[in-house]
Amino acid sequence: MKRFAIVLLLVAGFMLVAQAGFSATYILHLNGMCSTKWVDSSSSRLAVKSGYVSIDCQVDNRTTISYSASQFKSNYLDVYCKGSNWCYIVNYSAGDVIMGYINANYDPQWNIAYVYTTAGAGGGSEIAWKNISSLFTCQLANNLGVSTVRNMYNHNDTNGITIYHIGGYKGIIISSAILPGEDDGAVAYHSSGACVNSGSYNNLCNCTHWTNHVIAYTCTGYYLDHFGMKMKFIQQLGW
């Protein structure tokens, strides 16, 4: 009987260890417009943090926001961010819109600690409105107009998750003539700063922000263009 009790204790211990082994913290990398993955050049990499598992999400961001959102939800959030697992989301550019769309259209069902957004397109871009988006190579660019994105979903509904934002202000002459206030050549501060109202802003903090959307690190932003901003949040986090 004593030996049997010891065996039971050992089995219970192994079960606890096994259950603990299935618990993990993931960093999901959600790519931007016209791309299909995060690591797409020598200048981009995955975050590296001890004890965390980094995932390069293969999301086809070339057609529509709803299609991208469906892919990200089914293939990544549903797989990695449930049960005893936890996730941090690092997104860039149109990834902001995709994550916002998911939060607003689905009930809370994932364990998401925080969302880190770089050069977010959640407020839309005047470039798309002016049809200059035809210069890009995918259909999704045409879905990112200011009024289109701002009316696409409820930006105040984040399922209670805090969304942190950073933005850049190294504009490009041609696009900066169209984008109001400070911009990174693709999105203006009203978008990267998660401002309730579109308009001209020279400071990321000088506007009313959507609920649970917070400016991180600096109100002035970074002297980087849209492409140069991609890795900035990961760098700031020390990941």
Identify whether 218 is part of a domain. yes
Identify whether 30 is part of a domain. yes
pLDDT for position 21: 53
Model confidence at 170, pLDDT cuts 50, 70, 90, reads very high
Identify whether 5 is part of a domain. no
Count the neighbouring beta carbons within 10 Å of the beta carbon of residue 203.
16
Identify whether 146 is part of a domain. yes
Closest CA to 92 of 178, 153, 180, 168: 168
Identify whether 2 is part of a domain. no
The whole-number average pLDDT for the span 44-62 is 97
| pLDDT tens digits for range 71-116 | 999 999 999 999 999 999 999 999 999 999 999 999 999 999 999 9
Identify whether 224 is part of a domain. yes
Task: Name the residue with higher pLDDT: 136 or 213.
Answer: 213
Identify whether 191 is part of a domain. yes
Q: What is the mean pLDDT of the chain?
A: 90
pLDDT of 140 strictly over 80: yes
CATH of the domain at 170: 3.40.50.1820
Task: Name the residue with higher pLDDT: 143 or 25.
Answer: 25
Q: Tell me the residue range of the domain where 199 lies.
A: 24-237
Residue 24 and residue 85 in contact, taking contact as beta carbons nearer than 8 Å: yes
**pTM to 2 decimal places:** 0.88
CA 8, CA 34: separation in Å to the nearest integer?
Answer: 55
Identify whether 117 is part of a domain. yes
Q: Is 165 left (phi over 0), alpha (psi -120 to 50) or beta?
A: beta
Question: Structural domain tally of the chain?
Answer: 1
